[in-house]
Structure 1
Amino acid sequence: MIADQYYGQHSTSAAEAVHAFEQAVFAVAAHRPAAEPLNRALEADDTLVAGHALKGLGVALLGKAEDFAKARALLTPAQDALSRADGGTDYEQALVQALQLASCGRLKAAAARLEAQVSHNPRDFLCLKLANALRFMTGEAHHMRETSATALRSMASSDAGYGFALGMHAFGLEEMGSFAEAESIGLLAVTNQRSDIWGVHAVGHVLEMRGRAAEGARWIESSRQLWPHCNNFTFHMAWHLALFHLEAQDYDAVLDLYDREIRPVETDDFRDMANAVSMLWRLEQEGIDVGDRWRRLHEIAHRRRSDATYVFASLHYLLALLGSGDTAAARELVGNLRDRALTAGLDDQAEVAAAVGVELAAAILTLHSGATAPANLCELSLNLPKLGGSRAQRDVFMRTLLLMAANSGNPAAFDAVNKVRTAMKSEDRFARVTHKRLSETAA
């Protein structure tokens, strides 16, 4: 057995495989491409249990229907490797069992299995990172905060994963509304680990939520030296930078960032689509002509209209279809979400569709058609965290609910939604402009 520098215990005697695997773990932590070192690890030892499990979990986190199918296929070699290792170590068992759960759409249970391993071995960095990623997708920030806190209580500052763990904790704190502590811990994270783009990102979230737009733009710009090393997280960092320019009404800068750095390539990764779609939707809410940019997103959204695997993604596809004027496909997508909700109990996302996805999608269709806004706008706003993603990402839906309330001329509905929104972020220019619209509508 060999222990890696991130406190993973491997049932192998192949030091070369473990060394390559360590490089893959670093890549995952730093949001860099991990496929090459992971493949080298498996070439050095094709029975490396953690290598097979990480490969499968990485695919499951991509969140599309075919990705879960691929993850289920990758479960077989992981289980075979575990069997050849006479049951493997606790670490290997946790990873394989988490893959089994995640590949079936049980993301919460997969995260819980990894968190149990962190409770058993709090310095187990990879299980912490993967649990954090899964809880991000399920919108359970309290778990993100608590599990990282558990790990940090046992970690030493010299541990290879310590700085990255600080960055995760900062993000969990921010998502739970502990902004001052999140900023402090985030700054400590990037001081300890200069490659921690997630820690940089966490501080950026704090600045976004507190309305510190000019400072936020400078902060994100200061991290540019890390971006060329990242995977598609680079696009997301550019998205955050554009949010700060949007608040400053520098629309030319936003559109330039969109074309050059948010959507420089036409990928169908749901995270890349969320960046692009939500930015165009925000711009149009502010009366900005986005040209033919919706057309370039339409093909992907249309192709994905029947893929209700991850509700957060489906709702962004809905926005893209509406933005491009394809109401028929948008209605079809909402129907597919309704069908998904009927399977509640089979997996996590069916329950999300039933709890919030269908009603939110129907409400967005209502806004687009000009029909009367639903009466449950406040309830919808309270249920948004179930979608997953971050406060900043979900704000595209919060803004939309606020706009619905304003258009309805209902001050009580507007105040209720705005109260939920300002509990998560400082009142911004959009809230003030929308309140003015409410006054004009109600007059």
Structure 2
Amino acid sequence: MRRDAYGLVTSTNSDEAQRAFETAVFGLAAHRPTAGAAIQSALKADPNHVAGHVLKGFANLILARSELDVPAAAALGDARAALAIKGGGSGDERILVKALEFAARGAFHQAADLLDHGFEDSPTPFLPFKISQALRFMLGDAAGMLDASTRAVDRLTFESPAAGFVLGCHAFSLEEHGRYGEALTIGQRAVALQPDDSWGLHAVSHVFEMRGDTLEGIDWLERGRKSWSRCNNFSFHMAWHLALLHLERGDHGRVLQIYDDEVRPQQTDDFRDMANAISLLWRMQQSGVHVGDRWSDVADIAYRRRSDTTLIFAALHNLAAMIAVGEQEGAAELVAQIEAKALGTDDQARVAAEIGIPMARILAGLDRSADRRMLERMVTNLPRIGGSNAQRDFFVLALAKAVGTGGDRAGVTRIGQIRQRLKAQDRLFRSIEHSVSIRLSA
């Protein structure tokens, strides 16, 4: 048994596999495009590298695409076989495999709980902590993220190569709770300690965005460009934040340029890339920006994925894209798929039942209005969709737009009051309020 640089005890006997796996963990932490190749190198050097198979499995699941359930299950099978060959492996490896078992059957909460609490009798390795935060991020579990990151920081050894990355995760957890001053301080410290910590850089950009500090946010992202531009498709998401800040300043030409060059430079079907593109296009349209034919590629991909409800967050973005181009048949099919998903028993089935169905029906125009109790419940349940407060703000805005279209000024006002608990008033929400006033006075 040996402990790697990031604190994980593994059963590998290969120095080459150990080095490659540490490179993969760094790549995961820094959102580098080399992480996948590093995992493969580790498995080539040691075909029975348990943690390598586990990380491969989680990498497939976190992409939230139904067709990747098969390779994720195969990675789980390989991890189990590797454990047997290694005589049961290390305790750390057994916890990782068990967590992957939970996640593979849709129980992300159980997987994250095991990753958070399974290592309490020893120094917490970085990899389980990072995977847990990724799972809780997809679940919208801000409380779980903050609990885990607080424990990790309390036990942190600042000589560890993971120290900056842990602080970056903690900064993001604080930001999601509206604790912006703390998040700013810790996020800046994380980036100073680990310049490759794009997640910490990202957390700080959230603070500026949610506070409405647009100039500070633009300056922060531009100064950090050297780091985040080296990322994998996470760089598209960082550019999305930059575009939102320019949109708030009314610089529509710059927003279109960022969209074309940095948010949507490739027509990928990764749900995170799609969410960036769809939510930004929607905001631009609501802001009076002519987006040309930019909806076409995302709407085509959304149509092809109209039966995929692996992640309700992704499905609702796909629904919005189809609605934007008038693809009513595809939208109706996806709404029906979300309703069918709600009959299941896994984590995402509960998300579908609690918020996916009502939000889908309002987005699709099937339920034009909602009573006050339903509005309160929808906004309260919205975090269950997953993602960040900044990402979910798209759904808050879309809900306000739908309610306003129905002439419910009080409903729009109430949504705005709830929204202001986390995000400063901005020009897009004010324009929605203004459009309701014009409609009612006409």
TM-score, normalising length: structure 1: 0.96
Matching residue within 433, 439, 442 for 1:441: 439
In the alignment, structure 1 residue 374 sits paired with structure 2 residue 370: yes
Q: What stretches of structure 2 of length at least 5 have no aligned partner?
A: none
Alignment-derived partner of residue 181 in structure 1: 182
Alignment-derived partner of residue 358 in structure 2: 359
1:313-340 CA-to-partner distances (Å, cap 9, x unmatched) read 0000001111122111111110111111
Contact 1:187 1:199 in 2 (8 A): yes
Q: How does 1:126-275 map to 2 (within 5 A)?
A: 126-275=127-276
| Segment drifting more, 23-32 vs 85-94 | 85-94
Q: How does 1:331-410 map to 2 (within 5 A)?
A: 331-343=332-344, 345=345, 347-366=346-365, 372-375=368-371, 376-410=374-408
* Structure 1 position 218, deviation (Å): 1.0
Distance 2:213 2:228 in 1: 22
1:47-97 CA-to-partner distances (Å, cap 9, x unmatched) read 111111111111111001012222011111100011112222121011111
Distance 2:358 2:304 in 1: 22
Distance 1:270 1:123 in 2: 30
* Structure 1 position 400, deviation (Å): 1.1
* Structure 1 position 118, deviation (Å): 4.0
Aligned-pair identity (%):
45
Distance 1:353 1:420 in 2: 22
Distance 1:286 1:73 in 2: 46
Contact 2:99 2:112 in 1 (8 A): yes
* Structure 1 position 425, deviation (Å): 0.7
SS of 1:119 mapped into structure 2: coil
Contact 1:408 1:441 in 2 (8 A): no
Alignment-derived partner of residue 103 in structure 2: 102
Task: Supply the AA of the counterpart residue of 2:198.
Answer: I
Contact 1:377 1:413 in 2 (8 A): yes
Distance 1:209 1:118 in 2: 34
Distance 2:293 2:154 in 1: 51
Distance 1:176 1:299 in 2: 36
Alignment-derived partner of residue 43 in structure 2: 42
TM-score, normalising length: structure 2: 0.97
Q: Give RMSD over aligned pairs.
A: 1.3
* Structure 1 position 122, deviation (Å): 4.1
Contact 2:7 2:123 in 1 (8 A): no
Contact 2:370 2:403 in 1 (8 A): no
Q: What stretches of structure 1 of length at least 5 have no aligned partner?
A: none
| Segment drifting more, 182-191 vs 319-328 | 319-328
Distance 1:184 1:401 in 2: 33
Alignment-derived partner of residue 19 in structure 1: 19
Contact 2:146 2:170 in 1 (8 A): yes
Matching residue within 392, 412, 417 for 1:414: 412
Contact 1:356 1:384 in 2 (8 A): yes
SS of 2:68 mapped into structure 1: helix
| Segment drifting more, 284-293 vs 111-120 | 111-120
Task: Supply the AA of the counterpart residue of 1:87.
Answer: G
Distance 1:260 1:441 in 2: 37
Alignment-derived partner of residue 428 in structure 1: 426
* Structure 1 position 119, deviation (Å): 2.7
Alignment-derived partner of residue 287 in structure 2: 286
Distance 1:13 1:74 in 2: 20
